[in-house]
Structures are given as C-alpha cells and as structure tokens.
Amino acid sequence: MKSTVVSVARKLKLYQLVVFDQVLRSGSLMGAAQVLNLTQPAVTKIIHDMETFLGAALLVRGNRGVHATELGSVVLRRVHAMLTELRSLTDEVNAYHSGSTGQVMVGSLTSASTLLLPHTLRQLKARAPGVLVTVRVGQMDQLFSSLLAGELDIVIGRIPDDWRWHEYEPRLKVDVLCEEGLCIVAGAEHVLHASGQPVSLAELHPFPWILPPRSGLLRRTVDGLFEALELGPPTNVIESIATLTNYELMQDQQTIGFLPLQTAQQLAQSGKLKAFDLGKPMNFGSIGCFYSGIRNLDPATRLFRECLTLANQTLLASTDSPSHS
C-alpha cells in the first residue's frame, strides 16, 4: 500500500527518528542505547518497527558497526532536516518560556519615557536581545483603553489620584514604583530667572503657557494649582505633551510650561532650560506599572516587568546616594 502523509504521521514517531539518527551517529545499536539511556533490545525494536512500516531494511550490520542502506540514506537525509527543525522548535519554546523572545507592547507617559524606560530597555536587551519592544507614548486615559483592549501589555505612568474609584481600576493591576516631582520651567534666559529668588505662580501667570491637554490626568493637577491660589486659568495657552516641541517653544524666553522633575533635569543639562524656584517642591504623583488583571502576562512581558523593577530600584538608589543629595 502506498504511504501517505497521514499514514506516515500515524506510524512514525519523532522519537523513532531520534533513535535512528543516533544509531548512525554512534555507529552501533549499543552506542545509541548508551547515549539515549535505553537498553539495546529497546533500540533494536524501534529500528525493527520502522523497517516493518517502511517495508525495507534501513541498516546494514557489519564488522565495523552499522551503516545506512539505500533507503536508510534517503530517510536519514529527511530525518536530519526534521530534527534540525525540531531543535529549532525546542529552542524557541524554551526561549518563549524564559521570556528571551517574543514582543512587548509598552505604553508610557513622557515622564516615564525620559529616564526609567530607557534604563529598563537596556536591562531587558542585555538579558534578552531577541525580545522586540514597541513603545507608544500618550495620555493615560488613551493608554488605559489600549491596555484593556489588549493592544498594550504594560503601561508606565502616573497613578491617578482617584485610582481606587477609577473606572479602570477593577480590571487593571498596578505596581507602585516611585514618587515623581513636578516643576515649572522656561528658557534659561527668561526674565523671571534673573533675580535668583523664588517666584510665585501669580508672577508667572501672565506669561504664555504650555499646558497638558484638558483630557489628561496631569491637567487636573495643574488646574488645581491655579484654583488653590484663586487664579483663573492662563489665557495665552498652547496644549501639548510633545516634550521636544515644548522645549523649542520655550526658547522664546517667554513661554512657561510644566514638566516632571526628572524630565526637566535632563533637559536642563543643555543649559537652555531652567526650572523656577517656587520656594517649595511640587508633587507630580506616584509612578506605577499597570497591567491587565484579567489576562495572564506572557514570559517576555514578565521579564520586562522584572527589568522595570530592577531599573527603578537602581535609579532610586542613585538618587538617594550622597553624590545626588
């Protein structure tokens, strides 16, 4: 009867192919049995079963061991290709379970993208170069929706002040990472930097402003600062969270904006941006790592989360060290 793919798949087992390949590599049934931790009769039976199904001898036994028959050589050539693919499959499955391959979709606020996220990505790539990471920067409400829809695996950003009552809270989990400060900045040559003295929000109020969009969580914090001083919102406003665009806008030495502290510190290294001294620190809020509470994280995402935790601990330690005090 003519063999078919289905009949071969039913009768031949992958392990039989492994044994057949090892017999020829070892040059003897006994040698293959030792390598595979089998008895010689077990190896003999496996080869016999293959020969019975294929209808011809696969091995010739001689004084110098065994070698393949003509049919055995045909089978061996295909076995090598199949076992190569099997080894690749095994490697990929192991890599998947270890998190060293795969893809992670990350959503981030600008504040997290500035320092914490790059540190995390460097750690991840050092441990698992094969993992593809895609980063999307946006506002938290948009990122939360994408996370719930499965379009993102992780979101890093500010934890809403009302998180316990937030509409997304029952379906999302969050790991608290650190506290972030908030500052008001302008070009380094802004007129109100000249005195070197603390300035008030009321003094800054008349200037042009860059504010976060009304739909964002940070805007609620910013509006609260003006309301606390019974100031109306600024009237000359651009709404933007595009950090580099905002940086360039502030080079007119008039425009003022809000930035998370770490972002402002990094941009200030250019010497073209400076934070105002308001006499007391402002709190941006807690930064957290959000992930789905209704889906299991895949290995690559778990590895990313582990690297995020380690990167955060490293940054906190460097901030607390005497050289940074």
For residue 268, what are the contacts with CB-CB under 8 A and spacing of at least 6? 185, 188, 274, 275
Cα–Cα dist 200/315, whole Å: 31
Cα–Cα dist 249/256, whole Å: 9
Q: Are residues 226 and 202 in the same domain?
A: yes
The single residue listed with the structure tokens 């998370």 is: 260
Give me the numbers of helices (H) and strands (E) for the chain, helices first please: 13, 11
**Smallest Cα–Cα separation from 284: which of 213, 181, 214?**
181
Q: Is the pLDDT of residue 18 over 60?
A: yes
319 Cα distance to chain centroid: 24
Decide: 166 and 316 in contact? Cβ < 8 Å: no
Q: Is the pLDDT of residue 30 over 70?
A: yes
Cα–Cα dist 131/151, whole Å: 17
Q: Are residues 30 and 144 in the same domain?
A: no
- Tell me, what CATH number does 291's domain have? 3.40.190.290
Q: Are residues 109 and 250 in the same domain?
A: yes
Q: Are residues 154 and 212 in the same domain?
A: yes
Q: What is the DSSP letter of 253?
A: S
Please tell me the number of Cα atoms within 13 Å of 35 on its side-chain side: 16
* pLDDT per residue as tens digits for the range 44-102: 999 999 999 888 999 998 878 899 999 999 998 888 888 878 887 887 788 777 777 78
Q: What is the DSSP letter of 3?
A: -
Q: Are residues 52 and 151 in the same domain?
A: no
Contacts 24+ apart (CB under 8 A), 84-90: 86/14
- Tell me, what CATH number does 12's domain have? 1.10.10.10
* pLDDT per residue as tens digits for the range 137-153: 888 888 888 898 888 99
> Domain boundary residue among 44, 69, 98?
98
pLDDT, average across residues 246-260: 94
Q: What is the pLDDT of residue 190?
A: 95
Q: Are residues 200 and 93 in the same domain?
A: no
Q: Are residues 280 and 147 in the same domain?
A: yes
* pLDDT per residue as tens digits for the range 194-207: 888 899 999 999 99
pLDDT, average across residues 200-227: 86
Q: Are residues 254 and 133 in the same domain?
A: yes
Q: CA 317, 321, 324 angle in degrees (round to 5)?
A: 110
Domain containing 264: what range? 101-324
Dihedral angle at the C-alpha atoms of 62, 66, 72, 74, nearest 10 degrees? Answer: -110
Q: Are residues 90 and 148 in the same domain?
A: no
User: In the 3-class helix/strand/coil scheme, how is 33-79 assigned residue by residue?
Assistant: HHHHCCCHHHHHHHHHHHHHHHCCCCEEEECCEEEECHHHHHHHHHH
> Domain boundary residue among 56, 83, 98?
98
- Structure confidence at residue 4 as a pLDDT band (50, 70, 90): confident
> Domain boundary residue among 44, 73, 98?
98
Domain count of the chain? 2
Local structure of 13: helix, strand or coil? coil
**Smallest Cα–Cα separation from 42: which of 66, 18, 64?**
18
Strands 172-187 and 256-260: antiparallel
Q: Are residues 260 and 162 in the same domain?
A: yes
Cα–Cα dist 156/13, whole Å: 47
Q: Are residues 32 and 137 in the same domain?
A: no
Q: Are residues 125 and 69 in the same domain?
A: no
Q: What is the pLDDT of residue 68?
A: 92
